[in-house]
């Protein structure tokens, strides 16, 4: 990949997401936070109305749409590019009609078999994540022989199915699914061998932000009060992922990641010079 990695700012309009559940459930708070993330350097706002944290239960699609769609409309009217994080085809279709240009599906089309048809029909970009099962089962599914090879093979198979169902390969972005049916060791192996996922020939999104394996790193009193200790290592992961060729990174704290990507840009410019 060439060029600066995209920064997707996470906007959870949910009461129960693992890091910021309930903080932006109110419409005005959600829009204000999105605008603040754009000002801090976000290229895209990724809106989710259903938590996918380990153990989370599914949300009725009508509730999901009620949470998400008003915010999609408001941000699209402001000229902000919007991605919607959903596993539901009905929500995806409504989101695109409301102004979203990307659908981010953590199930890669497996949770709702109507999703591929919606993506093929609307022609929007589609982020397909590596997925082995729902959030309330994922811990039991973290069994691999070699995680980067296994994830690559399973993503390749999923891509083949999506293409058969009418999605154009130019629409696809792949996500290796850090933390989804993967333990800390699996996540670090995937990051260190990200090139194996990129070798499939599609843009790759990395979503490590504030996840449990990041929080497990030594803290060393590195942050002050009111700062999430997982944001600094997330920014480092974002920089390393971008330097390794990732198309984009999905983060909660946009400012620290944008600063890290400035370093990557300067590094590359130095190499080009």
Task: Name the residues annotated as catalytic.
Answer: 211, 250
Half-sphere exposure of 269 (CA within 13 A, CB side): 7
Residue 90: exposure state from Cβ atoms within 10 A (0-12, 13-18, ≥19): middle
Closest to 104 measured CA to CA, from 200, 203, 173, 161: 173
Phi and psi, residue 129, nearest 5°: -95, 155
The packing angle between helices 27-40 and 61-77, to 10°, is 50
With beta carbons less than 8 A apart as the criterion, state whether 33 and 11 touch: yes
The enclosing H or E element of 247 equals none
Tokens describing residue 83: 């991605």
CB atoms < 10 A from the CB of 25, how many?
17
Tokens describing residue 247: 């198309």
Q: How far apart are CA 251 and CA 257, in angstroms?
A: 8
Q: How far apart are CA 122 and CA 67, in angstroms?
A: 22
Q: How far apart are CA 6 and CA 45, in angstroms?
A: 11
Cα distance from N-terminal residue to C-terminal residue, the chain: 19
């Amino acid at each position: 990949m060439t060029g600066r990695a995209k920064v997707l700012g996470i906007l959870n309009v949910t009461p129960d997401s693992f890091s910021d559940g309930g903080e932006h459930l109110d419409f005005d708070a959600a829009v204000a936070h999105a605008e603040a993330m754009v000002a801090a350097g976000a290229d895209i706002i990724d809106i989710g109305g259903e938590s996918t944290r380990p153990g989370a239960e599914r949300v009725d699609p009508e509730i999901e749409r009620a949470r998400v769609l008003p915010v999609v409309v408001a941000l699209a009217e402001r000229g902000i590019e919007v991605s919607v994080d959903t596993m539901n085809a009905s929500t995806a279709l409504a989101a695109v009609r409301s102004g979203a240009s990307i659908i981010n599906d953590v199930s890669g089309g497996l949770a709702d078999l109507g999703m591929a048809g919606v993506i093929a029909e609307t022609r929007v970009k589609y982020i397909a994540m590596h997925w082995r099962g729902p959030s309330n089962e994922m811990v039991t599914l973290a069994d691999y022989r070699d995680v980067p090879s296994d994830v690559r093979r399973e993503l390749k198979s999923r891509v083949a199915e999506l293409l058969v169902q009418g999605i154009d390969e130019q629409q696809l972005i792949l996500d290796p699914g850090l933390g989804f049916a993967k333990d800390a060791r699996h996540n670090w192996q995937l990051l260190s061998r990200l090139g194996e996922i990129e070798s499939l020939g599609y843009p790759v999104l990395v979503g490590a932000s504030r996840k449990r394996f990041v929080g497990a790193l030594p803290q060393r009193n590195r942050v002050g009060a009111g700062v999430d200790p997982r944001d600094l290592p997330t920014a480092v992961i974002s920089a390393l992922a971008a330097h390794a060729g990732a198309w984009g990174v999905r983060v909660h704290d946009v400012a620290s990641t944008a600063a890290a990507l400035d370093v990557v840009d300067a590094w590359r410019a130095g190499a080009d010079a």
